[in-house]
């Protein structure tokens, strides 16, 4: 009987050790799933080094290329575009290896207001002021490609939690669309500040021409556009703030 009891105790410890090892493996697996693949979503980081691009240089078509924007506050939203004035993309075969384009802040357009109206003039002037772009000192903004990788079926776009209102900002997954082909990362410079932003894009390269479309959100305060910063709103229920989230949509064509 004593030998039988010892045998049961030994089996019990073997089972416990097996469960312990299995538990550690399962825990590690859950951690890997929970953490996901690093960088597989829209993200803003410090400026990155720009590598040497190889291939054919294509000129940006500034007549059809623009940067669309949309800003939000609980009581409304405004949207428009900023013209692209110059730039280039470098292509090797079917891949973008580099590129840069410049857009003009003073030429920013507001499409939800009648140009020439008093409201248009007030908002346009405010956006040009030091409260936002400080266009007198920083009339140009630039985007320079630092990395382009394939968007795969394993990738996903995570959405940020936003304060709910009648004008909650569009989500990153909504802006990305249903069929992204690539992840594009690049240094975005506005108001003298450079940050690297990574986002999904739909890119097509056909007969020596490139069309690239992308939609994503940025936190405007990362570039010093801090007027009405929502993080400083004492009482958000009073709607006395502007969302820090701004939606950006690139529509870039080169040939």
Decide: 187 and 146 in contact? Cβ < 8 Å.
yes
Residue 59 and residue 11 share a domain: no
Residue 95 and residue 28 share a domain: no
Identify how many contiguous H helices and E strands the chain contains and give both numbers: 3, 11
- pLDDT digit string, tens, across residues 51-77: 999 999 999 999 999 999 999 999 999
- pLDDT digit string, tens, across residues 128-154: 999 999 999 999 999 999 999 999 988
Residue 173 and residue 145 share a domain: yes
Residue 27: pLDDT above 70? no
Residue 173 and residue 108 share a domain: yes
- pLDDT digit string, tens, across residues 193-215: 999 999 999 999 998 899 999 99
Residue 58 and residue 164 share a domain: yes
**CATH label of the domain that carries residue 170:** 2.40.128.110
pLDDT given for residue 25 in this prediction: 34
Beta-carbon contacts of 80 under 8 Å, excluding residues fewer than 6 positions away, are 68, 69, 108, 109, 110, 111, 112
Residue 78 and residue 148 share a domain: yes
pLDDT given for residue 40 in this prediction: 66
Residue 191 and residue 166 share a domain: yes
Following DSSP, what letter does each residue of 132-154 receive, concatenated? TT-TTT--EEEEEEEEEEE--TT
Indicate the number of domains in the chain. 2
Give percent helix, percent strand, percent coil of the chain, each to the nearest 5: 25, 40, 35
CA distance 46 to 24: 35
In the 3-class helix/strand/coil scheme, how is 42-101 assigned residue by residue? CEEEECCCCCCCCCEEEEECCCCCEEEEEEEECCEEEEEEEEEEEEEEEEECCEEEEEEE
pLDDT given for residue 210 in this prediction: 96
Residue 90 and residue 21 share a domain: no
pLDDT given for residue 140 in this prediction: 98
Residue 72 and residue 16 share a domain: no
Domain span holding position 5: 1-35
Residue 183 and residue 210 share a domain: yes
pLDDT given for residue 239 in this prediction: 87
Residue 65 and residue 15 share a domain: no
Q: Residue 93 — left, alpha, or beta (φ > 0 → left; ψ -120 to 50 → alpha)? A: left
Residue 246 and residue 191 share a domain: yes
């Amino acid at each position: 009987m004593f030998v039988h009891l010892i045998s049961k105790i030994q089996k019990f410890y073997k089972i416990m050790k097996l469960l312990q090892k299995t538990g550690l493996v399962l825990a590690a697996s859950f951690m890997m799933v929970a953490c996901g693949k690093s960088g597989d979503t829209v993200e803003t980081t410090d400026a990155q080094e720009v590598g040497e691009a190889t291939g054919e240089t294509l000129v940006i078509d500034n007549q059809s290329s623009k940067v669309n924007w949309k800003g939000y506050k609980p009581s409304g939203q405004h949207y428009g575009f900023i013209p692209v004035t110059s730039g280039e993309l470098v292509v090797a075969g079917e891949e973008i290896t580099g590129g840069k384009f410049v857009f003009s802040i003073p030429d920013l357009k507001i499409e939800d207001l009648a140009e020439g109206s008093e409201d248009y003039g007030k908002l346009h002037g405010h956006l040009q002021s030091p409260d936002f772009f400080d266009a007198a000192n920083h009339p140009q903004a630039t985007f320079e490609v630092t990395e382009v990788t394939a968007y795969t079926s394993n990738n996903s776009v995570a959405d940020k939690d936003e304060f709910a209102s009648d004008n909650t900002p569009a989500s990153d997954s909504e802006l990305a669309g249903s069929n992204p082909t690539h992840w594009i990362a690049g240094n975005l410079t506005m108001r003298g500040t450079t940050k690297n932003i990574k986002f999904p894009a739909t890119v097509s390269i056909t007969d020596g021409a490139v069309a690239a479309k992308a939609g994503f959100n940025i936190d405007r305060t990362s570039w010093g556009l801090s007027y009405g910063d929502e993080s400083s709103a004492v009482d958000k229920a009073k709607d006395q703030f502007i969302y820090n989230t701004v939606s950006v949509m690139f529509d870039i064509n080169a040939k």
